Structure 1
Amino acid sequence: MPKFLIERDIPDTGHLTREQLVAISESSCRTLRGFDPEVQWLTSFVTADKIFCIYIAPDEEIIRRHAFEGGFPANVITLIQSTIDPTHADA
C-alpha cells in the first residue's frame, strides 16, 4: 500500500496547546472512520507553521477527500518512494 507525506500549512501550529492538538487528532480520526479501512494515519510532526503527516492510502485522491471533509489543508501530498534511517549505514 502506498505511503504519503502530507504537508499542511497551518499558521502558528507550534503554539497550539495540548488540548488543541488533541482536538485536531480527534477530528482527523472521526473523519477517517468514514473512509476505506485501508486509509491509516501513522503519525504527524508539528512545526512552527506546518503539520507534516504520514498516511497509508490507496491513492492521493482519497487523502485530498479526507482533508476536504475534515476541514484541514493538504497543501502538498508526496508519494514516499523509500525510507532510510541510521541502521542503513551499518548495512
Structure 2
Amino acid sequence: MPRFIIEREIEGAENLTIDQLAEIASTSNKAVASLGVPYTWVTSYVAGDKIYCVHETEDVETIVEHARRGGFPCNLVAVVTNEFGPHTANERSA
C-alpha cells in the first residue's frame, strides 16, 4: 500500500500536552474508522509549528478526506517513493 508523508501546520504544536496529543490521536482514529477503506496511521512527529504524519492508504484523496473528517490541516501530502537509513550503506547493487 502506498505510504504518504503529511505536513500539518499547527501554531504552537510543539507545546501540545500529552492530553492534547491523546485527543488528536483519538479524533484521528475515529476518522480512520469512518473511512471504510484500508488506512493505517503509522506515526507522527511534532517539530516546531508542524506535525509530520506517516500514513498508508491507496491515494491522496483518502488522505485529504481523513484530514477533513478529523478537522486537521493538510498543508502538504507527498507519496514516499523510497526509504533508506544507515543500513542502506551496505546494500549496493552489483
Q: What's the TM-score bracket when you normalise by the shorter of the two chains?
A: over 0.9
Q: Which residue number in structure 2 is paired with residue 74 of structure 1?
A: 74
Unaligned runs of 5+ in 2: none
Q: Within 5 Å, which residues of 2 pair with 1:1-91?
A: 1-91=1-91
Once the two structures are TM-superposed, the CA of residue 37 in structure 1 deviates from its matched residue by 4.2
TM-score in terms of structure 2 length: 0.93
Once the two structures are TM-superposed, the CA of residue 59 in structure 1 deviates from its matched residue by 0.2
Q: State the identity %.
A: 36
The one-letter code of the counterpart of 1:38 is P
Unaligned runs of 5+ in 1: none
Superposed structure 1 runs of 4+ greater than 4 Å apart: none
Once the two structures are TM-superposed, the CA of residue 36 in structure 1 deviates from its matched residue by 3.1
Give the number of equivalent residue pairs.
91
Once the two structures are TM-superposed, the CA of residue 35 in structure 1 deviates from its matched residue by 1.3
Larger Rg: 2
Superposed CA offset, 1:28-83 (max 9, x none): 00111111341110000011100000000100001101101110011000010010
Greater CA deviation, 35-44 or 53-62?
Answer: 35-44
3-state DSSP of counterpart to 1:27: helix
3-state DSSP of counterpart to 2:34: coil
3-state DSSP of counterpart to 1:34: helix
| In 2, Cα distance between equivalents of 1:82 and 1:88 | 11
